[in-house]
A = this chain, B = another copy of it.
Amino acid sequence: MPEFTPESVVSALRWRYATKHFQADRKIPAETWAALEETLVLTPSSFGLQPWKFLVIENPDVRAALREKSWGQGQVTDASHLVVFATRTDVSQEDIDNWVSKLSEVQSTPAEALAPMKGMIEGFVGSMPVEARQAWNTRQVYIALGQFMTAAALMGVDTCPLEGLDPSAYDEILGLKESGYATAVACAVGYRSESDHTAARPKARFDAGQLIEKIS
């Protein structure tokens, strides 16, 4: 597997910023987009349950409607791609069964060999009230968001994470109501416009000494 120098990875993350203005006429090449979708699928999650759906919004009318429910932010309509990260609203017995059969199939492991692991997941999930399960799922969705933005930066693709949106209105527009999934966050993806002056602003972070504490 290819390895990148630590410096090259960090420099891609320094280059990344929350893009405010995208080039509306520049599309991500199909091969790059396919790779970005694969990074979504490959996201790790607790117990491997993958409690999410990723909606890629291609329809311009739908994007215009979503923009109205996102404080009018232009990234929603102007970026090459828009992904809505939806979270499972629960973890049902069926979710667990589906996951354990997938695992059994992919790893050619008989179901009985996976029974102890399955019991552990059931015990853990059963100990949580349903609102806690959705919150847990949503945290997993943010791993996907982190992995996606990082992978995009490494490919030279810009992103803007979007929390400033009305999740319930998104659910309505996207037909997610009663689907068992709910909008958690969105991300616009594409290429920064030269007119985006925020790109040139120095990145602001607290000092490493404030954020990282060594317990030695």
Interface size class of A (residues with CB under 8 A): 35 or more
Q: How close is A73's CB to chain B, nearest CB, in angstroms?
A: 13
Instruction: Tell me whether A13 and B40 are in contact in the complex, defined as CB-CB below 8 angstroms, given that A58-B216, A151-B150, A154-B3 are known contacts.
Output: no
> A43: which B residues are within 8 A, CB to CB?
146
Picked from B3, B31, B62, B151, the residue with its CB within 8 Å of the CB of A155 is: B3
Interface centre among A10, A56, A145, A150 (most CB of B within 10 A): A150
> A6: which B residues are within 8 A, CB to CB?
31-32, 34-36, 155
Let me know if B208 and A55 touch, CB within 8 A.
Answer: no
Closest to A175 in B: B215
Residue A69 at the chain B interface, CB threshold 8 Å: no
Residue A202 at the chain B interface, CB threshold 8 Å: yes
Docked pose: A213 CA to B148 CA in angstroms: 16
Q: Is the interface of A mostly helix, strand, loop or mixed?
A: helix
Docked pose: A1 CA to B32 CA in angstroms: 17
A78-98: CB near B (< 8 Å → 1, else 0) gives 000000000000000000001
Docked pose: A35 CA to B10 CA in angstroms: 6
Instruction: Tell me whether A41 and B145 are in contact in the complex, defined as CB-CB below 8 angstroms, given that A3-B156, A155-B3 are known contacts.
Output: no
Docked pose: A206 CA to B106 CA in angstroms: 10
A-to-B contact residues, CB < 8 Å: 1-16, 18, 31-32, 34-44, 46, 48, 50, 52-59, 62, 98, 102-103, 106-107, 135, 138-140, 142-151, 154-156, 161, 163, 174, 201-206, 208, 211-216
| Extra contacts besides A16-B44, A102-B205 (12): CB < 8 Å | A1-B12, A9-B154, A18-B44, A40-B211, A41-B205, A53-B213, A54-B211, A56-B213, A59-B216, A106-B202, A140-B142, A146-B146
